[in-house]
Chain A
Amino acid sequence: EPEVTQTPSHQVTQMGQEVILRCVPISNHLYFYWYRQILGQKVEFLVSFYNNEISEKSEIFDDQFSVERPDGSNFTLKIRSTKLEDSAMYFCASSPPGGVGNQPQHFGDGTRLSIL
């Protein structure tokens, strides 16, 4: 069964450094998302991306965050100047075409980001 893959599984970074989290969505999917889960808390929406542009973003997704689909298969989340509070699991998700909201989102296994 096709799946969303994320790399790396664990990223350790010094505070203030830039980090790029990578995702390969399911191949025929057109909608892409990033969520995060701080330890012990619920999964929170960050951003959705469709047709090469952001379609929705949360209050968490401020100017230090950016997303990109650099080619036909990868989807990345960049955090420009990491803070201690950015430490979390970051999940990528994708959903197939079929109308907004009609199709369920499929998640990868996440990247655990640890900021020191």
Chain B
Amino acid sequence: QKEVEQDPGPLSVPEGAIVSLNCTYSNSAFQYFMWYRQYSRKGPELLMYTYSSGNKEDGRFTAQVDKSSKYISLFIRDSQPSDSATYLCAMTPGFQKLVFGTGTRLLVSP
């Protein structure tokens, strides 16, 4: 079983839709969970950072962590064409090494 699993997509949605992106993981030691956005030929850009279970909201973005199910989600409300990118989940037990998912490619059409 892979340590972090993420559907590579692509996920295609119309502008204004609510987008749900997900990752599952197997290592119960993971405590810190991140979502990064990566545009083509650019580095990962930090979107959301959460510790342990619960929800966190920042503008149109909401991150959810369910440690009992080993499942994390990122929701994007009112999606825009500029949200078209690859979304990477990443996590760590609290040490320095980040373990990434493969990334989900999101396409938001006008």
Query: Do A and B interact?
Result: yes
Using CB atoms and an 8 Å cutoff, list the residues of chain A in contact with chain B. 4, 6, 31, 33, 35, 41-45, 48, 50, 55-56, 58, 91, 95, 100-102, 104-110, 112
Q: How far is the CB of B100 from chain A (nearest CB, A)?
A: 4
Partner of A58, one of B46, B97, B101, B102: B97
Closest-by-CB residue of B relative to A43 is B100
Query: B43 near A109 (CB under 8 angstroms)?
Result: yes
Contact with A along B63-79 (1 / 0, CB 8 A): 00000000000000000
Query: A42 near B97 (CB under 8 angstroms)?
Result: no
Query: Within the assembled complex, what's the spacing in Å between the Cα atoms of A58 and B45?
Result: 23
Closest-by-CB residue of A relative to B32 is A101
Partner of A43, one of B45, B88, B94: B88
Query: B95 near A100 (CB under 8 angstroms)?
Result: yes
Given contacts A41-B102, A42-B102, A43-B88, are A100 and B96 in contact (CB under 8 A)? yes
Using CB atoms and an 8 Å cutoff, list the residues of chain B in contact with chain A. 31-32, 34, 36, 41-46, 49, 88, 90, 92-103
Query: Within the assembled complex, what's the spacing in Å between the Cα atoms of A45 and B32?
Result: 16
Chain B interface helix/strand/loop/mixed: loop
Residues of B within 8 A of A101 (CB): 31-32, 92-96
Query: Within the assembled complex, what's the spacing in Å between the Cα atoms of A107 and B31?
Result: 20
Given contacts A106-B46, A109-B43, are A42 and B31 in contact (CB under 8 A)? no
Query: Within the assembled complex, what's the spacing in Å between the Cα atoms of A112 and B42?
Result: 10
Given contacts A101-B32, A106-B46, A110-B43, are A56 and B96 in contact (CB under 8 A)? yes
Closest-by-CB residue of A relative to B45 is A107
Residues of A within 8 A of B98 (CB): 33, 35, 43, 45, 105
26 contacts between A and B (CB under 8 A): A4-B43, A6-B43, A31-B96, A33-B96, A35-B98, A42-B88, A43-B44, A43-B90, A45-B99, A48-B97, A50-B96, A55-B96, A56-B95, A101-B31, A101-B32, A101-B92, A101-B94, A101-B96, A104-B34, A104-B49, A107-B45, A107-B46, A108-B43, A109-B41, A109-B43, A110-B42
